Amino acid sequence: MFGGKRKKITIISIVSIMVVAMIAGAVWLYSSVSIASQTTAEPSVASTTAPLEMSAYYIVLPEPFIFNVMGKEHDRLVQIKVQLMVRGEANETLANKHIPLIESRLLQTFSATTVEQLRQPLGREQLRQQALTAIQATMNKMTDMPVIERVLFTGFVMQ
């Protein structure tokens, strides 16, 4: 009677120890890979690291853009929430430093659109691309680098 219980307890103990050992090994492996990637990362924008190898940072613009757009029948009120994607800490610092300039340029670009353009998904994508091009041109003038990699619309409302 007791032999069967002891055998079960022994098997459960061995399996439990193996599971704990596997988890500990996975944690050790993950942490060593994480530490190795942190020590090899290049924080400098001027480095020879390709842009896609640098970490992506997302800058949330503090306020949504609210503006009027002209339509054939009615004018509409539009609200767009924007985030900017940059690569590397240096670009993040530059973008944060120039937030007022970026917001101004985005508002100019957004307010030049029409209701008909914003009704279509392709039109919204074109607006996003126009915004990216405008910001990159502005940042090139200020910093001699495009700085911003993507403009992301994280909220879009048209009334």
Contact at 8 Å (CB) between 148 and 136? yes
- Taking residue 135's Cβ as centre, other Cβ atoms within 10 Å add up to 24
Structure tokens at 137: 């041109």
Four-residue CA torsion sign, 51, 35, 31, 29: positive
SS3 144: coil
pLDDT range class, residue 44, cuts 50, 70, 90: very low
Q: What is the pLDDT of residues 52-67, one digit of tens each?
A: 678 899 999 989 999 9
- Taking residue 72's Cβ as centre, other Cβ atoms within 10 Å add up to 7
Percent pLDDT > 90 in the chain is 47
